[in-house]
Amino acid sequence: MARDMPALSYQSDPIIWGVDPSRSGRAGADEAAMARRQGVLARTFGGCTWRGLDGPQLAVAIGKKILEAETAGDAPDCIFVDVGGVGASCYDHLKLLGYDDIVHAVDFGGSASDKRFLDKRSEMWWELAEWVHTSTSCLPNDNVLQGELVAPTCEYKVQNKRTGFKLESKERMKDRGVPSPNRADA
């Protein structure tokens, strides 16, 4: 988080956004979050977290961010949306808003590409850890993000006669009084 990168090290890389929709449409709900990354630079969450929005409302809020980014010459090349649970309606509405060429579904609870992992979310967190440790990556200086990145536990677990890496679920984290790591998931 203390690293600073010169623009030349990332400015020709694609701009990628990640969205963790969350169950933010009810009282006391989690924060929906959108992360922005270009090459080695991950950007701050200022203005990219929301509470109290359902899927369609979140899609409209993200659509506004896309328009702002286009005006600033900083439009995303690709947006990945977690479509598990409540995320499907946000994803569907972003497509209805005309962003089907840049919006892509990711099912965090779905199958991992690498069989060492028991689900996509576990695989993505592992890859994030490798990216932070092996590259000149630059994470935003965000205390909430910092806490979320170290909050989940992990284990090797047997599932369907196969042993694989499994990150602690958000439900299990909540059971032990730890908030959902939405910024980290984004």
pLDDT surpasses 90 at 30:
no
CB atoms near residue 77 (< 10 Å) = 12
CA 150 to chain centre: 15
Q: 93: exposed, middle or buried (C-beta count within 10 Å: 0-12, 13-18, 19+)?
A: buried
Bridge partners (DSSP) listed for residue 117: 165
* 8 A C-beta contact, residue 77 and residue 102: yes
Amino acid at 115: K
In this predicted model, what pLDDT tens digit does every residue of 142-183 receive, in sequence order? 999 999 999 999 999 888 888 899 999 888 998 999 988 999
Looking at the chain, which runs of residues are DSSP E strands? Answer: 15-20, 32-38, 41-42, 49-50, 78-82, 103-106, 154-159, 162-167
In this predicted model, what pLDDT tens digit does every residue of 115-145 receive, in sequence order? 999 999 999 999 999 998 888 888 988 999 9
CB atoms near residue 171 (< 10 Å) = 8
Q: Which residue has the higher pLDDT, 25 or 17?
A: 17
Mean pLDDT for all residues in the chain = 90
53 phi and psi angles, rounded to 5 deg: -105, 140
In this predicted model, what pLDDT tens digit does every residue of 43-100 receive, in sequence order? 877 789 998 889 999 999 999 999 999 999 999 999 999 998 789 999 999 999 999 9
- Provide mean pLDDT across the span 34-44: 90
pLDDT at 26: 58
CA-to-CA separations, 87 to 13, 14, 32, 84, 144, in angstroms, rounded:
27, 23, 10, 6, 22
